[in-house]
Each structure stands twice: as C-alpha cells, then as structure tokens.
Amino acid sequence: MSGPVAPVRGMNDVLPDRTPCWQRLEAIARDTLSAYGYAEIRLPILERTELFRRSIGEVTDIVEKEMYTFEDRSGDSLSLRPEATAGLVRAGISHGLLHNQPRRLWCAGPMFRHERPQKGRHRQFHQIDVEALGFAGPDIDAELILLASRLWRRLGLEHLRLEVNSLGTPAARAAYREKLVVWLAKRKHDLDADSLRRLKTNPLRILDSKDPAVQALVAEAPAITDHLDAGSAAHFEALRGYLDDAGIAYTVNPRLVRGLDYYTRTVFEWVTDRLGAQGAVCSGGRYDELVSQLGGRRTPAIGWAMGLERVAELLAGIDFAGVDDRPQAYLVSLGERARRAALLLAEHLRDALPGLRLHTHCGEASLKSQMKKADRSGAAVAIVLGDDESGAGRAAVKPLRSGADQELMDWTDLPVRLREMLESERR
C-alpha cells in the first residue's frame, strides 16, 4: 500500500468554508463589471509559449524562470498562462474582435507562475482581468481606476492605496533607460547581485527592487516622470485631473515600473499594508503597442488584474450580511418505504418552490438522530416522513425554531403551507 498523493506545492484547494467568500467576491465583481459595460470572454489556460515570449518579454522574471512550459505530444512548446492579457489580445486578434470598434472585456481564472510559495504568493493563483481595447485614453484609464475603486467600496475594503506612474512611449522609455544605466553604473558598488544582472538585461526593474539598500539608492535616481515625452506627460496630467475630479486619492510613484515589458504610459497598483510583504492586490497599465506586437492592427489598450487570493484574504474578517446557505427545511425519513418516498417528495417540493434550500437525510438513522441533525443544520423546519405518512401521501412538518406545534398535511398542501411556515419561522 502507498500513502495519500501529496498536492502540488504552491497550488491550493479552496475549501467549502471559504468558497462563500469567493462566490460573493466573484458575484460583486461580475455585477460591477457588467454595470460598466464589460463583457466576459473565456480563454484557454494553455497558450503557445511564443505568445508570452513576444508579449511579456524575454528578460522578465516570468518568462525567464517562472513559466510552466512543456512540449505537448505534437512537439509544440506550450505554457500554462502566467497572466491573462496576452491570451486575451491573442483571442481578440484571432477572432477579429478589435476591428474598428472598441471593446470592454473581462475574464477570470487560474494563472500559473513557478515562484517561491509564501503567504499571498502561490504557483496557481486566480485573477479577474479587465481590459479596454481600442481606447487611447486618458478618460478610459480613469474609468478603469474608478471601476476598481467602486469594487473596493462594494466589497467593504477601505484601506487600499492607489499608486500611479507613467512609463511614457517606448522611445521615451528607451532614452530614460540609457540615462538610468549611466547613473546606476556609477554606483555599481551599491547594487546587489540581482540588480547588477538587471543592469544589463532589464535596468528599469532595479527601480522596484525589494532590497532596502537598493531602494534607498534608487530613491535618488532620475525619475521617469521627469523624462516623459510631451504626449505621455499630457496624458498623465489629464488622468491625474480626472482622478482629482472624482475624489480618488493616489500617490505618484515614479519607481512603479511593473514586471511586464509591454506597458506604455499609465501604470498603477492598488496596495495594502494588511497582507505583509505581498501587498499588491490589483495592478495594471496601458499597453498601446501590444496588439501590433502580436500581429494585429495597432490598438491602444489598457487593463488591470486583481489577485483573488489576496482580496479573499482581506475579506476573511468581513461578515457578508444576508448570505445564508443553511438549509431552510430538512427532510427526515423513517424506514425503506419512506426513504423512497422522500426522494420523490423532495423533487416535488423543489418543483413547487424553486430555490428552496432543502436538505434530505440520506441513509438509515433513528428519528432522534435525524432530528438532531435537522436541528444542527440550522433548518427552520423538519419534514418528517414515516412509513405510515408516506403511504397515505402525507407528511408531518415540525417548526424547529418557534416551538410551534407539528402539523400533519397532504403532500399537495405542503408547498403552500411550507412557504407560510418558513415566513413565520424566519431566523
């Protein structure tokens, strides 16, 4: 005999005691997205590896060391998606969704990155991903931020901070990058090994190094916001104006660069201090060149992704009033004949009262033990079928909360009477 099979490291099960929180979060997000005119798109989890190389960038952490990449049986190199934007753009191009019309789209599901698992950082995690394609902004940039902000309010999350930055056009960014490299090269002895490597490959990423000494150093470095092209500077200023008009608090963080190569102009992140080191709950930015880079017609676009594990963690302490998944009625049956009848009665009740939360006791047990389970389930009433009652097409209904008398009634009268009793037994 061998023991139980271990789960894969960094890949979590969401257990039934936590799924109500996830469902609530997903329902509020879906409702809010639809209210802003976003339509859902569902995408595969596997894409060609090339898609991520060409979009996220060759010298990013994700592509260099975090992707789950393998050859399938036909010899194609495929990867589990580490993020959703690339796949969504691929789908938009494949299906001609982006031709001469803007699109507001969202998708949700698991993402995969081979990172070091820790609190708030997993190898399979979930995102809701929101993308607006075909809009040059900056009004859409503001709207996407307002949408996220409304989501936090509806979820009851009040302590999230917004950071914004602009990365400019690719040309302006390249010019800034040269300046930054020169500045950093003069201070090489203050850089850690990781930053020294990045100095050659992806120097902008040094700006968001987690190393305190490097952080102190780059606080003095030239700021990208002082090196923007005129168009990007105007775009950024307009966005900040819209946010001010809407009363959205934010800070400009010139060191916010984001880990994917495809961003242009606006980038932003919602962060919290309540999750320890993994404080980013929602991150996004504009990617005006990505669609053309992936073979489509040039289409300005912007989007954000929210990390559901981190948001669910923030929601853990919040009581969602009005969410009640306890059964309303518990069906008890005594004896073989009654048990057969119970399944039919349950279906009859579900037909007559759609949405009724009815829990049937399956399996043999004494009346006492079944009534105890009915009580513990939180149900308002127990419906009791004995062999005698079921033969006569009757059932006994016992209120469990008010102490009111048990009533014996015909199956045909049961739905109407049950509804009345549930009204008066409402907890």
Nearest distance, CB of residue 209 and ligand ATP, angstroms: 12
Smallest distance, ligand ATP to C-beta of residue 320, A: 21
Interface residues with ligand ATP (CB under 6 A)? 83, 113, 115, 120-122, 125, 127, 259, 278, 280-283, 305, 307, 309-310
Q: Which amino acid is at 140?
A: I
Joined together, the tokens standing for residue 63 give: 């592509």
Q: How far is the CB of 157 from ligand ATP (least distance, A)?
A: 13
- Of 114 and 179, CB closest to ligand ATP: 114
Q: Are 260 and 283 in contact (CB under 8 A)?
A: no
| CA dist 277 → 60, 116, 300, 365 (Å) | 21, 13, 33, 51
Q: How far is the CB of 279 from ligand ATP (least distance, A)?
A: 8
Q: How far apart are CA 204 and CA 417, in angstroms?
A: 69
* Identity of the amino acid at 382: A
Nearer to ligand ATP (CB atom), residue 111 or residue 180: 111
Shortest Å distance, C-beta 397 to ligand ATP: 48
For ligand ATP, the closer CB: 86 or 374: 86
Q: Torsion-angle region of residue 382: left (phi > 0), alpha (psi -120 to 50) or beta?
A: beta
Instruction: Give 306 or 338: the residue with its C-beta nearer to ligand ATP.
Output: 306
Closer residue to ligand ATP (CB): 102 or 120: 120
Nearer to ligand ATP, 127 or 390 (CB): 127
For residue 264, give the DSSP letter: E
- Rounded Cα distance between 315 and 404, Å, is 38
**Which tokens is 179 given?**
């300046």
- How far is residue 90's CA from residue 51's CA, in Å, rounded to a whole number? 8
Distance CA 229, CA 176 (A): 10
**Backbone Cα Rg of the chain:** 28
Q: How far is the CB of 40 from ligand ATP (least distance, A)?
A: 18
Taking the least distance from each CB to ligand ATP, the nearer of 280 and 379 is 280
Q: Residue 260: enclosing H or E segment and its boundaries?
A: none
Q: Which residue is nearest to ligand ATP (CB)?
A: 307
CB of 171 to ligand ATP, least distance (A): 24
